[in-house]
Amino acid sequence: MDLLRHLRYFVTVAEERHFGRAAERLHMAQPPLSQQIRRLEADLGVELFTRTTRRVDLTRAGTAYLTHARAILASVDTAADDARRAAAGVVGKLTIGCVGSATYSLLPTLARRLTDQMPDVHFSFRGDMLAADQVEALRDGAIDLALLRPPVNDHTLTLIPLRHERLIAAVPADHALATRKRLRITDLADTDLIIHSAGRRSAMYDTVLRLFTSAGTTPRIRHEVGETSTLLTLVAGGLGTAVVPHPVTTHPLDGVVYIPLRPTATIPLALAHRPTRPEPHLHRTVTTVIGLMQPPTAPRA
């Protein structure tokens, strides 16, 4: 730190060309400032200034040293500013994994909000991920936060419930059921069902099967898929019906009609991350996600 202090003293004297004025800028007495400059010159083995009773001028060595001194001080100031910004959580990198419905409904708003709040944090997103893939990605650091479907059987992760999403039916636009105002699960029992994959451990698969079991019927599963986008494309193609979370309706697709289910059923959405991660920008992002899930406060009368 002595060297940095000496550099600041030197640059101030070089700019003022006067020890008295430089001392005033530095809020110190003139004799100690002169002593510090002499010590710096002794350490370097060169004279940095020529001194007269009226003026202080840079020597050729001083002129050369000034260029580097300014660069060093600017670099130190930049490093300090970067450190403070990192501590405040406004710089860094973050990757967020999302289940299908969050990809369509939450991700666009979240991306805008995060970019506005933390413009110097580089955010990237991986959409249409199943919960098991997200948990594995959290473990190996491929993603930093996950918007996923519980349950999560990993006690090393912090799980924050966000909301319950209503389940609805997705049917081809030319299907006989497409004109109905509402449907029961039993109405789908005689249709070909497109469902999220059991092999890839989808939470939606277990949820949909429980709905059919509770209704006393068995689904006729025709296709199992890993991505919500693929599921909806197959519905649009007339290959079957599906049960999906309501937020997918924010992604309209020609050939698909969404119909409410009765009785109402829901599936949870949660935020997961590793609690050992200390980065401030990660915790600021958690706060932002939770804030987006909170319903707006009704205006006072």
Pairing of strands 220-225, 192-196: parallel
- Identify the sign of the CA torsion 243, 244, 246, 252: negative
Exposure of 43 by Cβ count < 10 A (0-12 exposed, 13-18 middle, 19+ buried)?
exposed
CA 176 distance to own-chain centroid: 43
pLDDT-derived band at 60, boundaries 50, 70, 90? very high
Domain formed by 2-87, architecture: Orthogonal Bundle (1.10)
Compute the distance between CA of residue 11 and CA of residue 22 in angstroms, rounded to an integer: 9
Residue 282 amino acid letter: L
The answer to whether residue 55 scores a pLDDT higher than 90 is: no
Q: Point out the least confidently predicted range of 27-36, 90-99, 290-299.
A: 290-299
Q: Which residue has the higher pLDDT, 84 or 288?
A: 288
Give the domain ranges of the chain: 2-87, 91-162+268-293, 165-267
Residue of 263, 295, 264, 286 whose CA lies nearest to 114? 286
Q: Count other Cβ atoms within 10 Å, centred on residue 254.
A: 6
Compute the distance between CA of residue 119 and CA of residue 114 in angstroms, rounded to an integer: 7
Tens digit of each residue's pLDDT (9 = 90 or more) over 182-232: 999 999 999 999 999 866 678 899 999 999 999 999 999 999 998 888 999
The answer to whether residue 301 scores a pLDDT higher than 60 is: no
Fold: same for 2-87 and 165-267: no
Tens digit of each residue's pLDDT (9 = 90 or more) over 218-261: 999 999 998 888 999 999 999 999 999 999 998 788 999 999 99
CATH assignment, 165-267: 3.40.190.10
* 10 CB-near residues (< 8 Å, 6+ apart): 37, 40, 48, 65, 66, 69
Compute the distance between CA of residue 279 and CA of residue 43 in angstroms, rounded to an integer: 41
The answer to whether residue 298 scores a pLDDT higher than 50 is: no
The answer to whether residue 175 scores a pLDDT higher than 90 is: yes
Pairing of strands 256-260, 158-172: antiparallel
Q: What is the three-class DSSP state of 298?
A: coil
Round the average pLDDT of the chain to a whole number and report it: 88
Compute the distance between CA of residue 8 and CA of residue 1 in angstroms, rounded to an integer: 11
Please check whether residue 276 is in contact with residue 162, taking contact to mean a CB–CB distance below 8 angstroms.
Answer: no
What homologous superfamily is domain 91-162+268-293 in, according to CATH?
Periplasmic binding protein-like II (3.40.190.10)
